[in-house]
Structures are given as C-alpha cells and as structure tokens.
Amino acid sequence: MLEIKNLSKQFDGNYVLNNVSMTIEFGKIYGLIGANGSGKSTLMNILNGHEKIAKSGGYEGKIFLDGEEVLINNHLKSIECGIAMVHQELALFSSMSATENIKINKENVKHKGFLVPELAYLDEKKNEQEAEELLHMIGSDISPEISIDFLSLNQKQFVEIARELDNKNIRLLILDEPTSSLNITETEKLLNCIKEIAAKNIAVIFISHRLEEIMEICDKVFVLRDGNLISDYEKEAFSVDHFAEDMVGT
C-alpha cells in the first residue's frame, strides 16, 4: 500500500533520518520505536506533510502509494494520500461539541435550492449521525452532542481518532504515543480500538515507549536509532530485550 525508499532528512547539514526504507500493508499494525532523537518524529512529519519539512528543503528519497510515486510536500497532499495522524498533543476545539470537532471542515450542508454556496446551512442531524457512527465504530459510547470540555483525556483521544477516520479515503492512521497519559483501563480500551481500526483494512503506525503495548497489538515492529532503521521484527520474533538493545545500541 505504502512504500518508503531511502528516505532521508537533514537540518542544517545534519542528517536526522538516513536512508530509511519500509513497506506498509493494508490492515496491519506497525510499531515504530526508538529513543528520543531517533528520527521517529521526523519520519512521521514527512508522511503527515508537516510544513517544517517543506520549509527546510523537503526530504530525500521516494514514497510510493499503490506503486506510484507521490510527493508529500504539504498536509493537504498527505490527506489526499489517505494518511491521518493523531498527535500526542491533542488538537481539539474547546466549547464545541464532539460532533463539531469530528466534522470540522467536513460538515454536511443543505443548500435548500440556493444557487450561492454561501447561503447553505449545516445539516446538524446528519453531522451528528455520522459522528455517532464513527464513535461507535471505534467502540466509544460518547454522545456526539456533548461538549469537549466535559470529556476525559481518554474520551478526547477517541474524538480525535474519529475525526481522522472521517477522511473517506483513509488508508493509514499514525498514532503518536496515544496511551502516554492513560491509565490501565483506558489504555486497554484504546488498544482494542486500534485493533478494530486495523480490522477495517486500515494500516496503523503505532508509536510508543511502552514495549509491552507494542508486543501486544503490533504485527511488525521497526526500530530506529540515530536516524537509521536498525532492525525490523515480525510478530514471531518479538522480544523486549532485542527491542531495547536495538534502541540504545551496545
């Protein structure tokens, strides 16, 4: 589905990502692990079309989607490619409902026969229905009408995931440390949610420092160190000790 070949990125002449290659398939969960400064964020920023990548000279290497080369030079291109990302720092709008946060910039409208698009108005019923369907799809019983301000951190995570899944052509969901602030019960619920997403043939890249979570839900794990892809492991070869050794070196 997605292939990365010899992807590199430098800032001020220093390579923070160096000839990284990996293949992503539909419906699988990929762990991406590495110590701070290993290149995880840079790799994800490239795939997410973060503006600082383009402003600092772009990236080297190639990205292929369904076998065709694509240039991800901005966030809109990333969305067009079906790539979505939930950052560790959630980006939700306070004083707005779960529905409004999920459907923002993707609202259903009614034109009521008007020829001028600006005269259309929101189809609130349909927006709430779609938001509720998305929340149910990932195992959440949050009311779509509730204000974001009344939700727990765990519930806000689900709203943000639902918002990204509202991209109709989504094929890859990137989750950056999604469990870092959750308790055991909340974490288990979110991990089950991730499994459900993958079961719908959406690929997931799961970034976490919690290696036991990586062991539990991932089908394959990539290990980065100092900008290099040190190793990759299939499920049957998973080992916390090997992960740790590869992350820090010997």
Question: Which secondary-structure segment (H or E) carries 19?
Answer: strand 14-24
The more confidently predicted of residues 193 and 6 is 6
H-helix or E-strand spanning residue 172: strand 172-176
Residue pointed to by tokens 């220093």: 14
Domain segments of the chain: what residues?
Answer: 1-82+169-250, 93-168
> Rounded to whole angstroms, what are the CA distances from 24 to 1, 50, 127, 219?
6, 20, 32, 11
Please give the Cα distance from 2 to 27 (Å, whole number): 12
- Is 119 exposed, middle or buried (CB count within 10 Å of its CB: 0-12, 13-18, 19+)? exposed
User: In 3-state terms, the chain is what percent helix, strand and coil (to 5)?
Assistant: 35, 25, 35
Residues 174-214: tens digit of each pLDDT: 999 888 878 888 888 889 989 999 999 999 999 999 999 99
Which of these, 164, 144, 165, lies nearest to 100 by C-alpha position? 144
**In Å, how far from its chain's centre is CA 39?**
16
Phi, psi of 27 (to 5 degrees): 75, 15
Q: Which helix (H) or strand (E) holds 40?
A: helix 40-47
pLDDT value, residue 111: 66
Give per-residue pLDDT as tens, 233-246.
999 999 999 999 99
Which CATH code fits 1-82+169-250?
3.40.50.300
- State residue 34's pLDDT score: 94
Q: In what order do the strands lie in the sheet with 14-24?
A: 14-24, 2-11, 60-65, 68-70
